[in-house]
A and B are shown apart, each in its own frame.
Chain A
């Protein structure tokens, strides 16, 4: 049984119980043990990086130290957490001077970054530790007839030199994972373009413009739903969809699901156990389509 230290982040426990539930249940069913470590903090994502890069590196490194001490690799559910932690891990492993500098800061909290562990985003764990073949075998309720628009979100892939999740121009990990569930992955225009999530709060106007483009393109391609890997992207396209409706007077009715939710459903987990009612755009028609 493979074990990982789960890095939950801030947004998921605060706002998206459906994401947490689906991830925990699906991974458990597939034989991945998720360990909750004590004393983790915010990963220090872009909002914190904007204040001070060095601080956010140090905070990210601190969290990695906890995993190093527990001798576990880290798995993330949020693109932001993945980018923040994986970037810090890669930068500190490669740059001796930077590592020394950050360790001087970490020593105040009694920690030292060694660089002994990996940070993986959960799709990678599914591909590497389970494998598509075994994943397919575990699917008891294939999502046939479901057309899914794969949306990686920016920070699952970029900056690719540090994250190394997949090819940044021609990724296929998420599409393969979707098809392993029996669903069909549909191609749509500007698939890898940002959803605008991080602009929410500073410039809702621009954020909604980008969200709308994503919703329009996926709708045009005939998708039934969008699959995301990040709670920020989820918010941008789920709650954002309602805001897009009121700003642009356009209704999309495009449910947005976390990939882990689709996974959980395909593995036969009862939709009622997944708190899907917390989605602003109702997922009922998806549940109906796949049952």
Chain B
């Protein structure tokens, strides 16, 4: 029997998508041992997030449920799961890859879209107000150096980051 080409079924398509994204390459190594789940401080306090389940759903191809849901935004990014995983699945990075896919498809929580706008506008996720900046000499702090906003904008335009933002403004 000749080996054929794998068909584009739903499950393969989504896990292939995750594997092809930066950070998501290791998702298929998962064998559902659950070490990540018991390592996760968030999973212990809410049923809304469980890293093992998120990976399982992704491998089964449940794209819509994963990227439109709020589970992937509840990861606190502590990387304990990635540290302990016996298969060296980069779980923390996989969650970022899933967030990136969600963002690209327009599923964007407000607080994150604010961060994205802030960085494009100011080069900073938290802006130093003039009021605070003016207090520095009195406190004994040296003046702030200028932010490299031009360079930043060039970089973020090269990666398409700025277009990700635009997409959100377009979708209702």
- Taking Cβ atoms with an 8 Å cutoff, the residues of A that contact B are 10-11, 13-15, 17, 20-21, 24, 36-42, 44-55, 57-59, 62, 66, 98, 104-106, 108-111, 154-155, 158-160, 168, 192-194, 196-199, 201-203, 206-207, 209-210, 273, 275
Contacts and interface: CB of A to CB of B under 8 A. Distances in A.
Interface of B: 21-23, 41-42, 45-46, 73-74, 76-80, 82-83, 90, 92-93, 96-97, 99-100, 103, 109, 111-112, 115-116, 119, 123-129, 132-133, 135-136, 139-142, 144-152, 154-161, 164
Contacts of B133: 13
A13 B144 contact: yes
Contacts, number: 189
A153 B111 CA distance: 22
Contacts of B151: 39, 41, 62, 109-111
Given A41-B152, A55-B156, A59-B156, A158 B78 contact: yes
Contacts of B97: 53
Contact of B125 (A24, A38, A45, A111): A45
26 contacts: A10-B125, A14-B126, A20-B141, A39-B148, A45-B125, A47-B115, A51-B116, A53-B23, A53-B100, A54-B159, A58-B159, A62-B155, A98-B22, A105-B155, A105-B159, A109-B155, A111-B151, A159-B79, A196-B76, A198-B76, A202-B74, A202-B109, A202-B112, A209-B45, A210-B41, A273-B140
A193 B147 CA distance: 34
Contacts of B152: 41-42, 59, 62, 109
Given A50-B96, A51-B161, A159-B83, A13 B140 contact: no
